[in-house]
A and B are shown apart, each in its own frame.
Chain A
C-alpha cells in the first residue's frame, strides 16, 4: 500500500507570495494532519482534517489555512509568505477516529526568499 505522498517536494517562493501544498493520505485513511518543522521551533501542529472538516487547529496566524476534499486529499495554503515560513511541512494521515497512528509523508521543503 502506498504511503502518504506530498507535492511538491521542494518549493522556492519570495516574500509576499502565496503557496499551496498538497497531501494525499494512505488509501483508506480519512484524517489528515499538518505540521511545520523549523530548527527554531521544532515540530508544531498546524491543523487536522477529518471528513472535510477542520477538527483541530494549532496556534498559527490566519495566513495558514487548509482544506480536505471528499477523497481525503488535503491542501494547505500559506498567504503573504514571510521569511519565517521557511520550513519543512509534513503531512500525516490516520485511519479513523480514536485509533491508529499518524503516518507521515516525506514533507515539502519550502524556502522563502
Chain B
C-alpha cells in the first residue's frame, strides 16, 4: 500500500535560517510520482514540484531545493534563507502512474507546519 510519512509535525525557525522538511514514502510500484504542495492559511494547496520515480536528479529553484533518494525512499525539501512568507503547512504526496489512467489519486502525508519568525 502507498504511504507517505512526514515525521515533523511542526518546525519553527527564525528568518534567514535554512530548513529541511522530511518526507519518506512507501510504494510497491516501480513507477510513481512525488509531489510537494504548500498550504498557506488561505487553504489552497499550491503546487511546488513534481518528480517521477525515474528521475533522481535533485533540483534547485531559487531558495527551494529537493533531494530525491530512491535508496532510502525519501524526498526531502529544503528552503534556504527562510522568510516569514514561507510560513505554511507543507505536504508531501505520492501518486501511482497506471497505464491509461490519470494521476488521479494522491496519497498525502500529514503535513509539516512551518513557522518562520521575523
Contacts and interface: CB of A to CB of B under 8 A. Distances in A.
Q: Please classify the interface of chain A as helix (H, G, I), strand (E, B), loop, or mixed, using the class held by over half of its residues.
A: strand
A42 B111 contact: yes
Contact of A31 (B42, B44, B104, B106): B104
A103 interface: yes
From A42, A43, A88, residue with most partner B Cβ within 10 Å: A43
Interface in B20-42: 35, 37, 42
A50 B104 CA distance: 9
B118 interface: no
Contact of B44 (A48, A94, A107): A107
B45 interface: yes
Q: Is the interface of B mostly helix, strand, loop or mixed?
A: loop
A62 B35 CA distance: 29
Contact of B47 (A35, A43, A55, A101): A101
Q: How large is the interface on B (under 10, 10 to 19, 20 to 34, 35 or more residues)?
A: 20 to 34
Nearest to B6: A42
B101 interface: yes
Report the contact-size class of chain A (Cβ under 8 Å from the partner): 20 to 34
11 contacts: A31-B102, A42-B111, A48-B102, A48-B105, A50-B102, A55-B104, A58-B105, A94-B103, A98-B97, A101-B47, A106-B44
Top-10 shortest CB links A-B = A48-B104, A104-B45, A43-B108, A106-B44, A56-B104, A107-B43, A31-B102, A45-B105, A97-B102, A42-B110
Given A42-B110, A102-B106, 6 more contacts: A33-B106, A45-B105, A50-B102, A90-B43, A92-B45, A107-B43
Interface of A: 31, 33, 35, 42-43, 45, 48, 50, 55-56, 58, 88, 90, 92, 94, 96-107, 109
